[in-house]
Chain A
Amino acid sequence: MRFIDEYRSEADAQKFVQAIQRLVTRPWTIMEICGGQTHTLIKSGIDQLLPEAVTLVHGPGCPVCVTPLELIDKAIAIARRPEVIFTSFGDMLRVPGSETDLLSVKAQGGDVRMLYSPLDAVKLAQKHPDRQVVFFAVGFETTAPANAMAVWQAGQLGLENFSILCSHVLVPPAMEAILSSPLNRVQGFLAAGHVCTVMGYWEYEPVVANYRAPIVITGFEPLDLLQGIYMTLKALEEGRADLENQYSRAVCREGNQPAQQLLAQVFEVCDRQWRGIGMIPRSGYRLQPQFARFDAEQRFAVADITAEESTICVAGEIMQGLKKPCDCAAFGTLCTPEHPVGAPMVSSEGACAAYYQYGRAVQVEEGTR
């Protein structure tokens, strides 16, 4: 298949693996930001092909994982209301709230529906004028433009029965939070290519300059990741802190300008709570005042719901690159995909789910890696 097979060739992968082996002279720790990249790494077994000196740690780029517990509880409270059609990307439905998850709300009779696009939620609202349609607007800069477009369309159509429960987060402030932590061990980053297709990479220029850590904008196929890792290691070995673009077939410096304009029109930057990590200043989006009537938190008066995180789960430390999923006492025992304690065990982009699903714990145990 074109645009897929050329990025999954075993012969080319082996060339990169050998080049990396020749290049590396000492231990390095690299973080891939995006959970989609984490899954490609583990699913295709790249982590095992790298020299032992290279440690990959998995970043906070999993929208499901960083959505705060209390927001899940708010979603559940809204989804339980009889007049509501609660819509969401599939990933969010299994994430545990304090007591239950959205799939269980559905099983108990709540009208919870899985959609592929927020624009379908707008259509639902048009089709069901007697119901309140709510879309769970989570994600990074990748999903934000479609959500912004949904709100903008609802505004144009004058819909009064559409709203979003908004929990948008932004990548560059999270990277700065990780780099400025006294415990930080990340020396270089693979930045999330898809975020950069929207936002470009100009935002990372000050990060590279201020923290002297190389950042390589990286794609999602196995060869993209191997090349991104190679470029990051090369910069580290040569003592360079450069911003480089591996994913040039999709990303340019300025990004997608119309999308950025729409984002600025509908959303404003705000402080945001990250599940397991805490408050990061100016790290999220909320609706601009002129679109505040589409804010589900206000419409359904759930703003005062609060929740306590599990004390066992180390998701926050995993997403900051301080620990690996296998380091968690609950991993694979108390916390499994059937009984998730933390969100990274649920999401298809969560690091714990990747480790569990693709059997890293088993392989280590049985010496097959």
Chain B
Amino acid sequence: MTGMDLSAGLQCPIPINDYPTVLLAHGGGGRMTQMLIERMLLPAFANPSLEMLHDGAMLDVGGSRLAISTDSFVISPRFFPGGDIGSLAVHGTVNDLAMCGAQPLTLTAGFILEEGLPMEELWQIVQSMQAAAQQAGVPIVTGDTKVVDRGKGDGIFINTTGLGLIREGITVAPTRARPGDIILINGAIAVHGIAIMSVREGLEFETALESDSAALHELVAHILDVATEQVHVLRDPTRGGLASALNEIAAQAQVGIRLEETRIPLGEEVRGACEILGLDPLYVANEGKCLVIVAREAADAVLAAMQQHPLGREAAIIGEVVAAHPGKVFLRSRIGGMRVVDMLSGEQLPRIC
């Protein structure tokens, strides 16, 4: 029984004394999530594809390069301005494939339903998934359904897995960021996180904000049309926000990153909500946003291409990759001071006063 031998030889690499139970912060997308992945999951499942630490894996299959990615959706509330758990589950995985430089081909859908979920809600979610998949041109080709006892799930959890075909001549990976590269984003940050928070129980505030959740593969195709090899990194800064995504890239490529606070697109309403709630928009979740790191000479062409696309009208250059301070992200503040933008530890908690 090799399984027995293996388990006898393996010690849990996350100090169990420190965290005898899983905390919500282990799923927050910040340092604790990273620790869980790096110390437990990576060593346990070790293989070269996984170690790329990309949004999806890239595989060579019969002469084609395929991208595969999976994501689970556990959000509350299930319906929010601008979307719901169904459309999000489609966009999330389509975008993970797009961030590998792949054209998404198909999706699968796994449902974990809690006994008692109103059938009407499920029907709404399924219709929304179908509409999102159809709009993205990516069919849902297989799936699975499980029902758990009342109280053992939060209404509905959805997992989607996607398969995509990587274009020829394209290699995007976080490790390809190099000093001199320019960092762009396709629009205003923190919209999704604040839109969700605006309807969360106990925190309802009036706003016309809608989530920016959207499928990004067409925007990405548009970018790759004007700059193939010069596109070094693509990343959708979802959980943990812009700060966490850039910290991961800086660490993986062992480069430094410098941001200009005044150049990062940020809507007035989102900024106001962040000021009131004491949240830093750099750490608030995004959907429908894409970080693009390109060779300096391609930056202007890529910016122009992004701005021509409906999902990139507010695209902007927000910073650059530097050789100094490898692994660290620095930001020049609005008033001209410099500071580190660290990875979020745990969840961002609203403050007292």
Q: Which residues does A use to contact B, with CB under 8 Å?
A: 1, 4, 8-10, 13-14, 36, 42-46, 48-49, 63-64, 89-94, 103-104, 106-108, 113-116, 120, 138-140, 142-143, 194, 222-223, 336-339, 347-349, 356-359, 362-363, 366, 368-369
A61 to chain B, nearest CB (A): 10
B200 to chain A, nearest CB (A): 10
Are A142 and B325 in contact, CB atoms less than 8 angstroms apart? no
Across the interface, B339 reaches (CB within 8 A) one of A42, A104, A337, namely: A42
With both beta carbons as reference points, the residue of chain A lying nearest to B262 in the complex is identified as: A10
Are A339 and B352 in contact, CB atoms less than 8 angstroms apart? no
In angstroms, Cα B339 to Cα A195, docked, is 28
With both beta carbons as reference points, the residue of chain B lying nearest to A345 in the complex is identified as: B345
Are B351 and A49 in contact, CB atoms less than 8 angstroms apart? no
Are A349 and B351 in contact, CB atoms less than 8 angstroms apart? yes
Are A10 and B23 in contact, CB atoms less than 8 angstroms apart? no
In angstroms, Cα B325 to Cα A359, docked, is 11
B24 at the interface (CB under 8 A from A): yes
Are A339 and B18 in contact, CB atoms less than 8 angstroms apart? yes
A254 to chain B, nearest CB (A): 21
Are A363 and B336 in contact, CB atoms less than 8 angstroms apart? no
Residues of chain A contacted by B275 (CB below 8 angstroms): 1, 4
Across the interface, A139 reaches (CB within 8 A) one of B338, B349, B353, namely: B353
Residues of chain B contacted by A336 (CB below 8 angstroms): 345
Are B325 and A362 in contact, CB atoms less than 8 angstroms apart? yes
Across the interface, A44 reaches (CB within 8 A) one of B18, B272, B334, namely: B334
Residues of chain B contacted by A194 (CB below 8 angstroms): 353
Q: How large is the interface on B (under 10, 10 to 19, 20 to 34, 35 or more residues)?
A: 35 or more
B203 at the interface (CB under 8 A from A): yes
With both beta carbons as reference points, the residue of chain B lying nearest to A62 in the complex is identified as: B352
Are B340 and A338 in contact, CB atoms less than 8 angstroms apart? no
B346 at the interface (CB under 8 A from A): yes
Residues of chain A contacted by B345 (CB below 8 angstroms): 336-338
Residues of chain B contacted by A44 (CB below 8 angstroms): 333-335, 337, 339
Are B21 and A1 in contact, CB atoms less than 8 angstroms apart? no
In angstroms, Cα B353 to Cα A36, docked, is 8
Residues of chain A contacted by B75 (CB below 8 angstroms): none
Across the interface, B346 reaches (CB within 8 A) one of A45, A114, A116, A338, namely: A338
A333 to chain B, nearest CB (A): 15
In angstroms, Cα B31 to Cα A337, docked, is 10
Q: When each residue 293-327 of chain B gets 1 if its CB lies under 8 Å from chain A and 0 otherwise, what string results?
A: 00000000000000000000000000000001100
Residues of chain B contacted by A356 (CB below 8 angstroms): 342
Residues of chain B contacted by A36 (CB below 8 angstroms): 351, 353
Across the interface, B349 reaches (CB within 8 A) one of A8, A94, A143, A366, namely: A94
Residues of chain B contacted by A357 (CB below 8 angstroms): 340, 342
In angstroms, Cα B346 to Cα A247, docked, is 34
Are A45 and B351 in contact, CB atoms less than 8 angstroms apart? no
Are A13 and B21 in contact, CB atoms less than 8 angstroms apart? no
Q: Which residues does B use to contact A, with CB under 8 Å?
A: 18, 21-25, 31-32, 35, 202-203, 268, 271-272, 275, 277-278, 324-325, 328, 330, 333-340, 342, 345-346, 349-353
With both beta carbons as reference points, the residue of chain A lying nearest to B349 in the complex is identified as: A90
B351 to chain A, nearest CB (A): 4
Are A358 and B24 in contact, CB atoms less than 8 angstroms apart? no
Q: Which 5 A-B pairs have the closest CB atoms?
A: A45-B337, A359-B340, A90-B349, A337-B345, A13-B335
In angstroms, Cα B271 to Cα A46, docked, is 21
With both beta carbons as reference points, the residue of chain A lying nearest to B277 in the complex is identified as: A116
Across the interface, B24 reaches (CB within 8 A) one of A8, A107, A222, namely: A107
Residues of chain A contacted by B340 (CB below 8 angstroms): 357-359, 362-363
With both beta carbons as reference points, the residue of chain A lying nearest to B336 in the complex is identified as: A10
Are A91 and B349 in contact, CB atoms less than 8 angstroms apart? yes
Given A13-B336, A45-B335, A89-B351, A368–B342 Cβ distance below 8 Å?
Answer: no
Across the interface, B31 reaches (CB within 8 A) one of A92, A142, A338, namely: A338
Are A107 and B21 in contact, CB atoms less than 8 angstroms apart? yes
Which of B24, B324, B346, B352 counts the most chain A CB atoms within 10 A? B352
In angstroms, Cα B32 to Cα A336, docked, is 12
Residue contacts A-B, CB under 8 angstroms, 24 given: A4-B275, A9-B335, A10-B335, A13-B335, A45-B335, A49-B337, A89-B350, A90-B350, A91-B351, A103-B23, A106-B24, A107-B22, A107-B23, A115-B202, A116-B350, A143-B353, A336-B345, A337-B31, A337-B345, A338-B345, A347-B351, A362-B328, A366-B324, A368-B338
Residues of chain B contacted by A93 (CB below 8 angstroms): 349
In angstroms, Cα B343 to Cα A362, docked, is 14
Residues of chain B contacted by A115 (CB below 8 angstroms): 202
Given A44-B335, A357-B342, A104–B21 Cβ distance below 8 Å?
Answer: yes
With both beta carbons as reference points, the residue of chain A lying nearest to B340 in the complex is identified as: A359
Are A103 and B24 in contact, CB atoms less than 8 angstroms apart? yes
In angstroms, Cα B18 to Cα A36, docked, is 29
In angstroms, Cα B18 to Cα A336, docked, is 13
Are A14 and B336 in contact, CB atoms less than 8 angstroms apart? yes
In angstroms, Cα B353 to Cα A139, docked, is 8
In angstroms, Cα B325 to Cα A108, docked, is 40
In angstroms, Cα B203 to Cα A114, docked, is 10
Are A45 and B278 in contact, CB atoms less than 8 angstroms apart? no
A199 to chain B, nearest CB (A): 13
Are A348 and B278 in contact, CB atoms less than 8 angstroms apart? yes
A135 to chain B, nearest CB (A): 12
